[in-house]
Amino acid sequence: MQLYVHIPFCLRKCNYCDFLSGPADESVREQYVNALIKEIEKRGQTFGRRGALTSVYFGGGTPSVLTLRQLEAIYNAISRDFTVDKNAEITIEVNPGSARDKIHFMKNLGFNRLSIGLQSIHKSELAFLGRIHSFEDFRACFSDARDAGFSNINVDIMTAFPGQTESSLAATIDTITKLSCEHISAYSLSIEEGTPFYERFKDIEGPVVGQENERKLYWMTVDMLKDRGYKHYEISNFAKPGFESRHNSGYWKREYYLGVGLGASSCIPAPSGDERVRNTTDMATYLADPLTREESTVLTKDEMIQETIYLGLRMMDGVDTDRFVKRFGVTVRSIYGDVIDDLAAQGLIYEGSSSLSLTDLGIDYGNHVFASFLK
């Protein structure tokens, strides 16, 4: 099983961010950490003996806004109430503007993977996105991480937003690949309700820079990263050999995970089928009772099958059809033969001897492909 730890705090919301996060004063942060530790203890009593955690992921928000004492308290609670595999991938997301004085501490505490939110190397683009850091902050953060001994670093970048050009994106990619980070996540701008960008761009259908330009920038990113030795292993993710994110790959392969913290989601085994649950998204409720669930759904076999297909197709290796048979007792083709034939005829998917995967054209029309398996 995997563990996700949600830290819903940041110094300032970015213009595109719809995550359950935001600024909070130190009193609220302290109350939250105490509630989170209570939840970890209680969840540990239920799930802590079901096998060692293969990955732990601190996400947000910006986990690096917490104090060293708070981070240590949360980390120690996990170590106490769960068994963590000795080779587990233990990741923490950081903002270059709030992490510099904490990097060595994080490494010594036990984190072995760092995920740094850069988005762009250009001052004007960072300002447009609402980022609070500079490229100089990022460079210093990255250098500190290497000095601390981090040998597994992810860098987030964003593509297809107004003002970005092919040359500015190329400069960002060229700069970060020269730093030899092990992993790169490259996400196209998505306009989500409740964000400043939504109020600004809500009347635009599709990508704000246009579908053709968005696809051009996407494939430019893919080609540049492949040329520099990065494996394109998931629609938006690239890694040097052996550095694919184990935690996120677990989501796409539909492995079980437990989420703790405000609004955290879980996929856990249940007697009659896998159960998807979500913690309360109300801070006052969570602080009063961190075990409060907002949603709980036991999935049918058909729903589990559908999830396995559309999540697995996000991976470039695709759905492992042999593993599918072992899990569900039927072949993918016996359920979706007509769908597979239709999509293959359109050049959108490729059916191998033991896999089902998207073609390059299928990536461009991914939502159509995914929807085809939900009918």
Residue among 46, 38, 111 nearest 77 (CA)? 38
Tell me how far apart the alpha carbons of residues 80 and 25 are, in angstroms, rounded to a whole number: 28
Which residue in this structure is represented by tokens 């003002």? 163
Q: What is the DSSP letter of 241?
A: T
Could you tell me if 64 and 111 are in contact, meaning their C-beta atoms sit under 8 angstroms apart? no
Residue 136 sits at φ, ψ, to 5 deg, of: -65, -40
Q: How confident is the model at residue 51 (pLDDT cuts 50, 70, 90)?
A: confident
What letters, b where the CB count within 10 A reaches 16 and e where it falls short, cover 141-163? bbebbeebebebbbbbbbbbbee
Task: Quote the pLDDT of residue 11.
Answer: 83
**What's the pLDDT at 20?**
84
Is the per-residue pLDDT at 125 higher than 90?
Answer: yes
Residue 159, pLDDT above cutoff 80:
yes
Share of the chain above pLDDT 70, in %: 100
Considering just the CA atoms, what is the radius of gyration of the chain in Å? 21
Tens of pLDDT, residues 11-20? 888 889 888 8
Are the C-beta atoms of 79 and 112 separated by less than 8 Å?
no
Beta strands in the chain (DSSP E): 2-7, 53-60, 84-94, 113-119, 153-159, 183-188, 231-234, 237-239, 257-260, 265-268, 275-279, 293-298, 319-320, 349-351, 355-358
State how far the Cα of 270 lies from the Cα of 276, in Å rounded to an integer: 9
φ/ψ region of 127 (left if φ > 0, alpha if ψ in -120 to 50, else beta) reads alpha
Rounded to whole angstroms, how far apart are CA atoms 366 and 173?
24
The single residue listed with the structure tokens 């306009």 is 191
Confidence band (pLDDT; 50, 70, 90) for 272? Answer: confident
The answer, yes or no, to whether residue 166 has pLDDT greater than 90, is yes
Residues 6+ positions from 127 with CB-CB distance below 8 Å: none
* Rounded CA separation 296/330 (Å): 27
pLDDT at 15: 87
Tell me the C-alpha distance between 189 and 160, whole Å.
6
Task: Give residue 277's pLDDT band: very low, low, confident or very high (50, 70, 90).
Answer: very high
**Looking at the DSSP assignment, which residues form a beta bridge with residue 117?**
156
What CA–CA distance (Å, rounded) separates 189 from 99? 25
Angle at 333 between CA 329 and CA 336, to 5 degrees: 105
* Cα–Cα distance measured from residue 33 to residue 261, given in angstroms and rounded to the nearest whole number: 9
| 277: helix, strand or coil | strand
Residue of 130, 120, 122, 94 whose CA lies nearest to 12 = 130
Q: Which residues lie closer than 8 Å to 31 by C-beta, 6 or more apart?
A: 287
Overall residue count recorded for the chain in this entry: 375
Which strands, in side-by-side order, build the sheet including 355-358?
319-320, 355-358, 349-351
Architecture of domain 300-375: Orthogonal Bundle (1.10)
The structural domains of the chain, with segments of one domain joined by +, span 2-251, 300-375
Instruction: Give the pair of three-digit tokens for residue 14.
Output: 């970015």
Percent of the chain with pLDDT over 90: 89
Partner residues linked to 93 by β-bridges: 115
pTM exceeding the 0.75 threshold for the entire prediction:
yes
User: Can you name the CATH fold of 2-251?
Assistant: TIM Barrel (3.20.20)
Residue 88 pLDDT > 80, yes or no? Answer: yes
pLDDT at 12: 85
- At residue 200, the 3 state secondary structure works out as helix
Q: Is the pLDDT of residue 236 over 80?
A: yes
Same-fold call for 2-251 versus 300-375: no
- Give the model's pLDDT for residue 13: 87
